């Protein structure tokens, strides 16, 4: 209990800090993909690389409202199949995988903030209800949001 008070006194914005750290993590993942693809840049079509960059930017802007590849493809004025082909060629992962990964990272960041209850996280991530968030999170992480939160609390305390 003392540890919690000391921690909150030293950081007035813990939720925002966690969210920013996770965004940095996502950008690090993106940077890793870019660095690992450097040897292939001379042979890669620059248009495809630009589309991939725009796709990653769009994910960060619209992940709450739009989780479908079709939305991002439409924003980029290409077909979903072509977007998936480009992203797979550039990064080794599918477009859908990148979208899901970003959503999961955001949910994990919010779960680490103990001041938010699960229902508030449902609202912030734009899920229909707590059950749909729980099913989504369990499907992609193997644990419920509550289990994840407990495991994070045990890790930090």
The predicted-structure confidence for 53-91, as pLDDT tens digits, reads as follows 999 999 999 988 999 999 999 999 999 999 999 999 888
Q: What pLDDT does residue 62 have?
A: 93
Is a pLDDT exceeding 60 seen at residue 8?
A: no
Is a pLDDT exceeding 70 seen at residue 49?
A: yes
Of 4-8, 18-22, 67-71, highest mean pLDDT: 67-71
Residue with the two structure tokens 């914005």: 13
Of 25-29, 108-112, 127-131, give the lowest mean pLDDT range: 25-29
């Amino acid at each position: 209990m003392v540890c919690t008070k000391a921690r909150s006194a030293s950081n007035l914005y813990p939720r925002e800090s966690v969210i920013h750290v996770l965004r940095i993590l996502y950008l690090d993942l993106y940077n890793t993909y870019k660095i690992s693809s450097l040897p292939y840049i001379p042979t890669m079509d620059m248009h495809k690389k630009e589309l991939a960059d725009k796709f990653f930017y769009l994910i960060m802007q619209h992940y709450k409202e739009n989780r479908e590849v079709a939305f991002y493809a439409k924003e980029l004025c290409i077909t979903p199949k072509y977007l998936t082909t480009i992203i797979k060629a550039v990064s080794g992962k599918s477009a859908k995988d990148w979208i899901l990964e970003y959503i999961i990272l955001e949910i994990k960041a919010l779960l680490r903030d103990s001041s938010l209850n699960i229902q508030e996280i449902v609202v912030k991530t734009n899920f229909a209800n707590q059950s749909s968030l729980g099913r989504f999170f369990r499907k992609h992480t193997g644990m419920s949001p509550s289990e994840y939160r407990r495991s994070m609390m045990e890790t930090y305390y």
